Amino acid sequence: MPYEPPTHTVERSLRATTGAKVIAGVDEVGRGAWAGPVTVCAAITGLRRPPEGLTDSKLLTIKRREALAEELLKWVTSYALGHASPEEIDDLGMTAALRLAAVRALDALPVRPDAVILDGKHDYLGSPWRVRTVIKGDQSCVAVAAASVIAKVRRDKMMAELGVEHADFGFAANAGYPSPVHKAALAERGPTPHHRLSWAYLDALPQWRHLKKARTWADGSVPEIEGQLGFDF
């Protein structure tokens, strides 16, 4: 299916309106998974022409995505990854876990960005970072698209490695998302050490419901369930 290639339009706008010179594109993967970390990539690309076919990682075949990721690792000016573990997601909630992973990625860059282009509608990063949110930025912005592809390929590889000891869950194929194989294994065997235990899918598993972890926030607010996918038997 044809799609418009990403551009440097947002980056040029940030340079012109804020004086920012170093701009990082940031994207996440794993927000809606039931198992594994949430992973954030921060990528700095400058204004060079990107590799052919760059777009949102979800629009690419596995083969093309992996090949493009290898090309991007040599092409980007710099990149870094940050992760928040299932335990951190359970303890903090997804928004705070995303921020934790993003800050880890940004702090790991060799140079601190002057501004950040963040994929999506909501700014989960916040102060002191100068943030421009862009809906579907992983399709329209070069740096965000690069971050999208790198993050997806790296996390998929991590999940395949985690799945070696849990073959029945099919992590190599589903990356911790709720596929039929994953659901069947959960119902039979219960969650692995890599599962998020505060999530609603455990409500549909009476035999494992006792493992569900309740988050207690310091301010007493209701635990966040943003991005969770239902079991839907």
The annotation places the binding site at: 27-28, 119
Give CA separation, 189 vs 59, 91, 164, 184, 209, in Å. 33, 24, 16, 9, 12
SS3 for 26?
Answer: strand
Q: Which residues contact 7 (CB under 8 A, 6 or more apart)?
A: 140, 141, 142
Annotated binding residues for a divalent metal cation: 27-28, 119
- Four-CA torsion 94, 96, 99, 100, nearest 10 degrees: -100
Q: Report d(CA 170, CA 178) in Å as an integer.
A: 10
Length of the chain: 233
